[in-house]
Amino acid sequence: MNPVTAVMERLAAAARTPVTDVGVKRRRSAFQSLVACLLSAQSRDANTKKAADALFAAAATPAAILALDEARIAELIRPCGLYNSKARNLKRLCRDLLDRHGGEVPSDREGLMALPGIGRKCADIMLRFVYGEPVIAVDTHVFRAARRLGLSQASTADGVARDLEATVPARFKHDAHLLLLEHGKRICRSRQPRCDACVLAELCPSARTAAPMRVARASGVSQG
């Protein structure tokens, strides 16, 4: 059996509960999902939520955010870190959405990635969780698990995303992001992977030899 298929079959079989959409990926509108994704760079989920909730309580549309001072936006989103640059990008994003998209969020990868501050990871998260497309978004947890499992040799998140897109069987694409994400968070952890408890151990070239992976601030993906 194709190794990617074997990995996905085991992860799907081992999933304790039905795969559901969680966290910042469930926002009230496409715009709020996009903003939450922008805020999530280099930030823990809980801090991203605090920042997003504070921002949306003050302003929840592109026009309303654009009406705020950049310093005020930075103050509201302070919990998620990098708040000055994120506030700047947020203003540019809102201006772009209003000027070029009538205030609506594009629904294709090219359009999303052309927006200020939005890279492939956020574009793919939007495609999967807002527009329901079978797209595998690669964040730091998916990147780490895919690399250790030998599903990709790529050194960037975008490269891993391209490899997974090409090799994961169609029937697993809808759930692959969440399956790999949960596996990376709970089992294939950065510093201490739980290989002894891993249902993939006999398939994994890194079993019991995986080195810790650190998050590189510049790229937002793990290295190592």
Which residues are the active-site residues?
Answer: 121, 139
For the chain, where are the alpha helices, taking DSSP H only? Answer: 3-14, 30-39, 45-58, 62-66, 70-76, 83-101, 109-113, 120-129, 140-148, 157-167, 170-186
Contact status: 187 vs ligand SF4 (CB under 6 A): yes
Q: Which is nearer to ligand SF4, 39 or 149 (CB)?
A: 149
Q: Answer yes or no whether residue 82 interacts with ligand SF4 by CB under 6 A.
A: no
CB of 218 to ligand SF4, least distance (A): 24
Residue from 91, 141, 147, 148 that binds ligand SF4 (CB under 6 A)?
148
CA 91, 95, 96: angle at the middle one, nearest 5?
115
Q: Which stretch in 19-27, 100-108, 122-130, 187-195 sits in contact with ligand SF4 by CB under 6 A?
A: 187-195
- Ramachandran assignment for 220, one of left (phi > 0), alpha (psi -120 to 50 degrees), beta (any other): left
Q: For residue 103, what is the DSSP state?
A: T
**Residue carrying the six token digits 């999967």:** 128
Q: Does 201 bind ligand SF4 (CB under 6 A)?
A: yes
**Contact present, 4 and 169 (Cβ < 8 Å):** yes
- Indicate which single residue of 77, 181, 210, 221 sits in contact with ligand SF4 (rule: CB under 6 A): 210
Options 31-39, 47-55, 82-90, 193-201: segment touching ligand SF4 (CB under 6 A): 193-201
Interface ranges with ligand SF4 (CB under 6 A): 145, 148-149, 187-188, 193-195, 198, 200-201, 204, 206-207, 210
